Structure 1
Amino acid sequence: MNATEVSNEVRKALYEAVSAGDLRTIHEVHRSCPRALEQGWTGGDSPGYLHLAARKGQLAVCELLIELGLDVNRPAASSGGSTPLEEAATAGHLSTVRFLIEAGAWVDGPAESASTPLMGAAMEGYVEIAQLLVDAGADIHREHLRLPQTALDFASLYAMKGGGQAAVAEYLRGMGAQRPYLERHDWSDVPQQPYIEHIERSMQGFANPRALALIDKPDGTSVILRAIRIPAKYEFQLIFSAGLQPGKTEVGLILPSSWPLNRASLQLSLVADPIARLSAVVRAGLDGQPLHHGALLTGEQLPLNDTGSRLGPWVLSLHSALEAEREGDTAIAQTLLLVPCPAKKPPRTSAEAMALTDRLMRKPWKSLLFADAPS
């Protein structure tokens, strides 16, 4: 056996001790084999012993394991990036949730995690835990990465279980939560209502009322970047502007549906990069740069102040799905999609860029991806 490998007997002893709240055995195993706690009972990226203690509601064990050096925010990649806090919240252990938050647990989990502690509490109907998490700053608008659903969606969908889900749903609605892709938003008080509804008809879905970014205009109004998940298998999402050149031109880009666009992830430069680039296109348009089908854009034309990145080139392309719904209605703006040029043979001239975008117009969304999902 490798010197750093932990025997199955030790793993089993620790698993049983953590589950039963046996602090003495945990101390003994840790003294004789310190690496055992770090590796967990199955090793790799699976949930660790702190996850197990949190799921079992073993508060004293959680306190001990953190004291012994286990990371309160360690994600389990094999479980969608779940954390001990998510385990405790989903299992309904209020005191353990409170302790983990006080111990420094991220209230929403990692930025790239599939689910969140609030979603777990909502799904199982634990209203006190939901309230505690929201009071601690949980993002009520965050969406599951694999399903186009928020905590309110989970509470509403699982209300059939007859637990506290209805109470969680009522509480979240009172806090301003929404079901962005299952309940159509009333855009009547939004200046760009016709355009947004055009996007919804084109994509056959509902646009999220939550703004991703605001870009100020000289007239004191703002261009708003919004998202809509494309319902066909929910593999992709369209990020689009509203208010750039009303009735003339808006811009957008296609991302995988699993691209995290939550409050935490948008603080990470890698994840926020597409939003920053689309914002740069909006600013270029506001500064008078011509934006049209077939336009070829370079890093020099679209420098990003926050990262200094000058990658490219890209093209701006119309798409048949959006144009067909417009049917030439001049009151509704055209949508130009920002698409990366092929790395092997990028267009060098305006004619080559136009030929490329003419082909892109009828390509599936997968061919228009701005970027693959961040790893």
Structure 2
Amino acid sequence: MNNPEEIYEKNIKTLLAIHADIASGNAASLKKCLEKNSVLLHLPMYGLDGHETLLHMAAEQGQTEICRLLVSLGIALDQPAASSGNSTPLAAAAGNGHLQTCQWFLEAGALVDGWPNSITTPLIDAITFGHQDVVNLLVEHHANINRLHTRLNTAPLDIANTWGFTEIASTLRKSGAVSIMDVESQPEEFGGSIVTFVHNTAGWVLPAQLSPITNEEGLVLRISCIDGKSKFKLLFTIGLFAKSPHTELFVCLPGDWPLTQHGFPPHSPWVFPVELLSLLARHTFDNGPLSEGFLIRRSDAMYANLAWPDEVDAFVAVDKAWDTKTEKEIIPDDEKVMLYVLVPVKFTKKGEPDAAALRVLTQRKRTASWASVVIPAPDPGIMQ
């Protein structure tokens, strides 16, 4: 019998006994049962792939010694539960306020922020349920205090403020946390006029501390939530304007695309937008800015090592229309900054579009919806 659901149903009485041992902390009985029924050790809840494991269950109930036993028997310390947004057992313990269990997981080497493509983090879960002592512990272990909630695109500090946990909010602030409400409008901000324009037209621009990091000198990346919502967001460059003619580049992403400061390895499908913009920035600094209609091909040597989406063969730079009255203002050419959206292109069976077809495509995409220029997300099952 290989079907997990059938295995679960056939062994429901044994599983109920296992669950009872976990709840009561009866490690000896649990060990004996799992050694006799080893097929049940890695069986997810209800036999459904991606659901919580026995380790999640033990962590959720604060059964530290049971967690220790289950890991020793072979359950992965950071086993993600896709059904719960790729949350880890540490997150289950943190969300339920089990300080000792969290301490054990951290000492055992658990990922303090969980997986980079998880919806929340152990810190966010601890904040949501008001567990100050767990928050303190995670901050002491260098949890990312500015890691966005992947679906809501809000920061840990915003979650603390929303739930009225003033002491937690104070702890986060003292540690350097920022809120998405901390809009930077100082004239001296790097690329401040561009950031303000995007903020007032496309959508709310988040503080720089919430953006992914690039190693390209002279470049920073920023995030704009289109129309202030979470359906789509822009990742864009600031710094390319240093080269003349002045430009900046934008990519449109699904609102729940994780844009973390760290956690993903190089060339992960999840860091494709960051790496693409970084390489294009290098191209701009070394060879000059892009112009509308410029085609970036996945076959180009400079970009071939990136983890391109399967559905995308190239990107074309498009001077997309921005919904703003300021477009009507007369701006001197030497002060104008062209904001190019990189639109994904899928080649037909005939191959790359010729010059005429590319012009038609570019013109059409100038007024296209954001949904039509969004980069398709990787398979959610790709953890890194």
TM-score by length of 1: 0.89
Contact 2:298 2:314 in 1 (8 A): yes
Q: 1:39 & 1:102 partners in 2: Cα distance?
A: 26
Secondary structure in 2 matching 1:122: helix
Q: Could you say if the C-alpha distance between residues 145 and 309 of structure 1 is closer, same or farther in structure 2, counting changes exceeding 3 Å?
A: closer
Aligned to 1:86: 91
Gaps of 5+ in 1: 160-164
Query: Which string of whole-angstrom CA distances, capped at 9 and with x for unpartnered residues, describes residues 91-149 of structure 1?
Result: 11111100011112111111111111000111122222112112212111111111111
Q: Which amino acid aligns with 1:129?
A: V
Q: What's the secondary structure of 2:371's corresponding residue?
A: helix
1:305: how far off?
Answer: 8.0
Distance in 2 of aligned mates of 1:305 and 1:346: 17
Pair 31,71 (structure 1): closer, same or farther in 2 beyond 3 Å? same
Residue equivalent to 1:142: 147
Q: Partner of 2:105 in structure 1?
A: 100
Change (3 A) 1:324 1:288: farther
CA contact (8 A) 1:10 1:36 kept: no
Change (3 A) 1:37 1:318: same
Alpha-carbon distance change, 189 to 305 in structure 1, aligned in 2, over 3 angstroms: farther
Aligned to 2:33: 29
Give unmatched runs, 5+ long, in structure 2: none
Q: Which residue type is aligned with residue 278 of structure 1?
A: L
Q: Is the 8 A contact 2:205 2:222 kept in 1?
A: no
In the TM superposition, 1:1-375 aligns within 5 A as 5-6=7-8, 7-44=11-48, 45-159=50-164, 165-180=165-180, 182-210=181-209, 211-214=211-214, 216=216, 222-231=218-227, 233-246=229-242, 248-269=246-267, 270-299=269-298, 303-304=302-303, 307=306, 312-321=313-322, 325-328=326-329, 329-330=331-332, 331-344=335-348, 348-375=353-380
CA pair 205-27 structure 1, distance change in 2 beyond 3 A: same
Q: CA deviation at 1:347?
A: 5.1
Aligned equivalents of 1:336 and 1:54: distance in 2? 48
Change (3 A) 1:41 1:352: closer
- Check the 8 A contact 1:206/1:228 in 2, yes or no: yes
Quick one: which amino acid aligns to residue 14 of structure 2?
A: V
8 Å CA contact 1:293, 1:354 repeated in 2: no
CA apart distance, 1:272:
1.1
Instruction: Give the AA of the match of 1:128.
Output: D
Task: State the aligned residue count.
Answer: 365
Aligned-residue offset at 1:293: 1.7
Distance in 2 separating the partners of 1:89 and 1:226: 30
Q: For 1:363 and 1:245, how far apart are their aligned partners in 2?
A: 25
Contact 2:178 2:207 in 1 (8 A): no
Task: State the SS of the aligned residue for 1:335.
Answer: strand
Q: CA deviation at 1:290?
A: 4.8
Give the CA deviation at 1:371: 3.0
The CA deviation at 1:85 is 0.3
Per the alignment, in what secondary structure is the counterpart of residue 267 of structure 1?
Answer: coil
Q: Percent identity among equivalent residues?
A: 27
* Segment drifting more, 228-237 vs 306-315: 306-315
Shift of 1:306: 5.8
Change (3 A) 1:216 1:49: closer
Q: How far has the Cα of 1:372 moved from its partner?
A: 2.5
Q: Distance in 2 between matches of 1:360 and 1:300?
A: 23
SS at match of 1:337: strand
Is this contact kept in 2: 1:235–1:256, CA < 8 A?
yes
- TM-score, structure 2 length as denominator? 0.87
Select between 171-180 and 238-247 the one with higher mean Cα deviation.
Answer: 238-247
Separation in structure 2 between the aligned mates of residue 193 and residue 121 of structure 1, nearest angstrom: 35
Cα offsets for 1:316-350 (capped at 9, x unmatched): 00111267543353435120011122332665333
Q: CA deviation at 1:183?
A: 3.3
Distance 1:148 1:100 in 2: 27
The alpha-carbon distance between structure 1 residues 200 and 232, as it changes in their structure 2 partners (threshold 3 A), is: closer
Change (3 A) 1:114 1:215: closer
Residue 162 of structure 1 corresponds to none
- Deviations along 1:24-66, whole A, 9 cap, x unmatched? 3202211220121211442222111111111111112111111
